[in-house]
C-alpha cells in the first residue's frame, strides 16, 4: 500500500533535475544559447543547400551533355532560333551536315536564308502546339532540299526561342510525284487509244462539257463530225490486220494534222473517228473542213510498197442547233453518217430533222420486219431472163416482196438495208430460199420443166460459215439439185469479208450452183476481184442501160464490161431493158442475156408456171 509521506517525498524528488541536464537547459534558455542554436541550424541547412546545389549543377551538366549528345545523334536538322530576331543561335551536327555550313557560319544566320518559304509571320504564329510547314532548305552550295519543318516555342534564360526540326521529305515528295505521274499515265492510257495515240470515247465524254462551256462563253458554234472509213473491213480481210492497223495510224495522223490545235480528233473504235471542231459559226467553213478531211483520207497510202486508196463517209451535227450536249450530237451525227453512206459513200451530210424521221421510220420498219415472217407477209415473184441470141427463156430471178397490211407494198430497196443492219437478213434470206425451193418442187411435181432460178443473197449470209450446209440441207429436203440454183451477190459484197466470201462461193460452185454479180459497174473495185472470185456471170446495172441510147459514156461502160467478161469467159446479163432498141443494141455489143419490162414484168408463181409450160 502506498503511504502519503512516501508520496510527498517522491514528489520532491521529481522536482529536482537530473545530473547535467539542468545545466544544459539553463544554457539554451539563455539569450546566448539561443543564438548559438540558430547558428548551428543555419550552418547545417547551408551545408545541405551547397551539397544539393553542387549535385544539381552536376546533374544539369550531365543532362546538357546528354541532350547535346542525343541532339547530335539525330538525323534531323535541329536549329534553335531567336524568336525576335529570327537568327540561328544553336544547332546540332545534322544541321551542319545537311546545310554544309560550319557552326560559326550557321549560328547568327537569318533563318530566312535557310528556309526561303518560311516567313516571319509563319514562324511567329501564336500557338501552344507544334506547327508543321513545308519549305525548301537552301544549302550552302545553293542546292535545295524539300523539307518538313516542325516549329515549337519555348523559353530559355528569359529568352523566347523557336526550335526548328527539319525533316528531309525529298524522297517522299519524289515518291508522291511518281505516284501522281503514274496516275496521270494511267488516266492518259484510259483516255487514249493505244494504236493511234488519239483520245478515245472516255476522253470525249469527260472533255466535252468544258468544250460546251467555252462555246457558251465565246458564243461560238461547234461542229461534231463523225468519220467512218469506207470498206475498211475489206483491207483487214484481204491484206491482214497488220496493214489495217498501219492504215488506221496513218489516217489518224492525217486527221490530226488537218484540224487546228484547238480541235480534237477522237477514235471511237474500229474505223470510226469523231472530230470536234470549235469556232465554226458558218456552214461554209465546216464544208471546207470536211473537204480537207476527205482529201487527207483519200490521198494514196503506201504500206510495204503497196498503194492503198480509201475514202471516208462523214456525218455532221452542229451545236447548239442539233443538240445541247454530247449524246444528241453524237446520235444526230451518226444518223447523218448513215445518210452519207446511203448517198454512195465518200461524201458528207448534215443532220436535219427529216433524217430523224427516217430513223424513226427505220425503227418502225424493223419492228414490222420482226412480225412479217410469222404473219406470212412475204412472197416471191419471178422475172424471166432471156437469151438475146434466140429470145428464148434462159432462167428466172426470184424477187422477194413484202406486202404489209397497213403500209402496203414495201420495196426491197427500203426494207433490205434495214434487215441487213439489224441482222434480220439471215432469217429473211432463209425464208426466200426455202420458198423458192418449195415452188420449184411444185413445178416439178406438175411436170413443168425447170430452168435455173437466181436467188439474191446478202453479204451477211455468205459470211455465215453454215450457209453452204444450209443450202445442202434445204435442197436435199426439197429434192432439188443445187445446179438449178444461182446465187446473186451485189458488187458491194465483194468489198466485205473477202477470204470468207471466196471460201463460201467456191463451196457453192463445188455443189454445182452458179454465182452472179448483180449491179456490176457501180462499185469501186469489183474488176480487181473478178480474176480471183469463182464467178460465172456479171449483170450490167440498169443505170447504164437506161441512158445507153443517148449517152455515149454509158454505152462505153457497157462495152468495156462485155469485153472484159468475154476475156474472162464470163456471161453477161443486162438489167432494165425497156425498149426493143436497147435489146438490139445490147445484142450487137455482144451481151449474152437480158432482163427487163420489155420482155416481162416480175410474175407470180402461177404466172411463171404458165410461162414455163408455154416455152417447153
Among 506, 504, 558, 515, CA closest to 537: 515
Q: What is the CATH number of domain 368-614?
A: 3.20.20.450
Give percent of the chain above pLDDT 70: 82
503: three-class secondary structure by DSSP: helix
Average pLDDT, the chain: 83
Taking the C-alpha atoms of residue 602 and residue 611, their distance in angstroms, rounded to an integer, is: 12
pTM: 0.54
Q: What is the pLDDT of residue 226?
A: 95
CA 67 to chain centre: 62
Q: In this structure, which topology does domain 71-172 adopt according to CATH? A: Beta-Lactamase (3.30.450)
Question: For residue range 232-257, what is the model confidence (pLDDT) as tens digits?
Answer: 877 776 677 888 899 999 999 999 99
Look at residues 413, 398, 455 and name the one whose alpha carbon lies nearest to residue 605. Answer: 398
Closest listed residue to residue 329, CA positions, set 190, 215, 199: 215
Give the pLDDT score at 22.
41
Instruction: Name the least confident of 62-71, 75-84, 325-334, 347-356.
Output: 62-71
Crossing angle of helices 232-239 and 241-258, in 10° steps, is 140
Residue 225 has pLDDT above 80, yes or no: yes
pLDDT of 530: 72
Whole-number pLDDT of residue 296: 93
CB 113 within 8 A of CB 88: no
Q: Give residue limits of the domains in the chain.
A: 71-172, 193-351, 368-614
What are 168-214's pLDDT values in tens digits? Answer: 888 888 888 888 888 888 887 888 989 999 999 989 998 899 988 88
Q: Where is mean pLDDT largest: 5-19, 46-60, 128-142?
A: 128-142
Which CATH class, in words, describes the domain spanning 193-351? alpha beta
H-run or E-run covering 454: strand 453-456
Position 438 pLDDT exceeds 60: yes
What pLDDT digit, counting tens, does each position of 13-64 carry?
444 444 444 444 444 456 666 666 666 766 676 666 667 666 666 555 555 5
| Per-residue confidence (pLDDT) for residue 465, from 0 to 100 | 80
Amino acid at each position: 500500500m502506498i503511504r502519503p509521506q512516501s508520496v510527498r517525498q517522491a514528489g520532491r524528488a521529481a522536482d529536482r533535475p537530473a545530473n547535467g541536464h539542468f545545466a544544459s537547459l539553463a544554457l539554451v534558455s539563455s539569450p546566448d544559447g539561443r543564438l548559438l542554436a540558430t547558428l548551428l541550424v543555419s550552418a547545417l541547412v547551408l551545408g545541405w543547400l551547397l551539397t544539393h546545389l553542387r549535385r544539381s549543377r552536376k546533374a544539369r551538366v550531365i543532362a546538357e551533355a546528354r541532350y547535346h549528345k542525343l541532339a547530335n545523334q539525330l538525323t534531323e536538322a535541329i536549329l534553335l532560333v531567336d524568336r525576335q530576331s529570327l537568327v540561328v543561335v544553336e544547332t546540332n551536327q545534322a544541321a551542319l551536315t545537311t546545310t554544309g555550313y560550319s557552326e560559326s557560319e550557321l549560328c547568327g544566320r537569318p533563318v530566312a536564308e535557310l528556309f526561303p518559304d518560311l516567313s516571319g509571320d509563319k514562324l511567329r504564329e501564336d500557338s501552344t502546339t507544334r506547327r508543321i510547314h513545308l519549305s525548301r532548305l537552301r544549302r550552302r552550295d545553293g542546292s535545295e532540299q524539300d523539307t518538313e519543318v516542325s516549329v515549337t516555342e519555348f523559353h530559355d534564360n528569359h529568352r523566347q526561342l523557336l526550335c526548328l526540326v527539319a525533316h528531309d521529305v525529298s524522297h517522299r515528295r519524289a515518291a508522291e510525284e511518281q505516284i501522281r505521274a503514274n496516275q496521270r499515265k494511267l488516266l492518259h492510257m484510259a483516255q487514249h487509244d493505244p494504236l493511234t495515240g488519239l483520245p478515245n470515247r472516255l476522253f470525249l465524254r469527260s472533255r466535252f462539257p468544258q468544250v460546251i462551256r467555252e462555246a457558251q462563253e465565246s458564243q461560238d458554234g461547234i461542229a461534231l463530225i463523225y468519220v467512218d472509213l469506207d470498206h475498211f473491213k475489206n483491207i483487214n480481210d484481204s491484206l491482214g490486220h497488220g496493214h489495217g492497223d498501219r492504215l488506221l495510224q496513218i489516217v489518224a495522223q492525217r486527221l490530226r494534222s488537218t484540224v487546228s490545235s484547238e480541235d480534237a480528233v477522237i477514235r471511237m473504235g474500229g474505223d470510226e473517228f469523231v472530230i470536234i471542231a470549235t469556232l465554226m459559226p458558218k456552214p461554209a467553213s465546216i464544208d471546207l473542213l470536211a473537204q480537207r478531211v476527205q482529201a487527207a483520207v483519200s490521198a494514196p497510202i503506201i504500206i510495204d510498197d503497196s498503194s492503198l486508196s480509201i475514202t471516208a463517209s462523214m456525218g455532221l451535227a452542229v451545236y447548239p442547233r442539233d443538240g445541247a450536249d454530247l449524246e444528241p450530237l453524237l446520235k444526230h451525227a451518226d444518223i447523218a453518217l448513215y445518210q452519207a453512206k446511203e448517198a454512195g459513200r465518200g461524201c458528207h451530210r448534215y443532220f436535219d430533222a427529216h433524217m430523224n424521221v427516217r430513223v424513226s421510220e427505220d425503227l418502225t420498219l424493223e419492228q414490222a420486219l420482226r412480225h412479217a415472217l410469222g404473219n406470212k407477209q412475204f412472197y416471191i415473184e419471178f422475172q424471166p431472163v432471156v437469151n438475146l441470141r434466140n429470145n428464148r427463156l434462159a432462167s428466172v430471178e426470184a424477187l422477194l416482196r413484202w406486202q404489209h397490211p397497213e403500209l402496203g407494198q414495201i420495196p426491197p430497196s427500203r426494207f433490205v438495208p434495214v434487215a441487213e443492219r439489224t441482222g434480220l437478213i439471215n432469217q429473211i434470206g432463209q425464208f426466200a430460199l426455202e420458198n423458192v425451193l418449195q415452188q420449184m418442187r411444185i413445178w416439178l411435181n406438175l411436170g413443168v420443166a425447170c430452168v435455173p432460178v437466181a436467188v439474191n443473197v446478202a453479204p451477211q449470209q455468205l459470211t455465215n460459215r453454215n450457209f453452204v450446209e444450209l443450202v445442202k440441207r434445204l435442197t436435199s429436203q426439197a429434192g432439188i439439185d443445187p445446179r438449178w440454183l444461182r446465187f446473186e451477190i451485189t458488187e458491194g459484197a465483194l468489198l466485205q469479208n473477202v477470204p470468207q466470201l471466196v471460201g463460201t462461193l467456191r463451196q457453192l460452185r463445188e455443189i454445182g450452183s452458179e454465182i452472179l454479180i448483180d449491179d456490176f459497174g457501180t462499185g469501186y473495185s469489183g474488176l480487181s476481184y473478178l480474176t480471183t472470185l469463182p464467178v460465172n456471170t456479171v449483170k450490167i446495172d440498169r443505170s447504164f442501160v437506161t441512158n445507153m441510147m443517148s449517152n455515149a459514156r454509158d454505152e462505153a461502160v457497157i462495152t468495156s464490161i462485155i469485153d472484159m467478161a468475154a476475156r474472162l469467159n464470163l456471161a453477161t446479163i443486162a438489167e432494165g431493158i425497156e425498149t426493143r432498141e436497147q435489146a438490139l443494141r445490147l445484142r450487137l455489143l455482144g451481151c449474152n442475156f437480158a432482163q427487163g419490162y420489155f420482155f416481162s414484168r416480175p410474175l407470180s408463181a402461177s404466172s411463171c408456171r404458165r410461162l414455163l409450160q408455154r416455152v417447153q
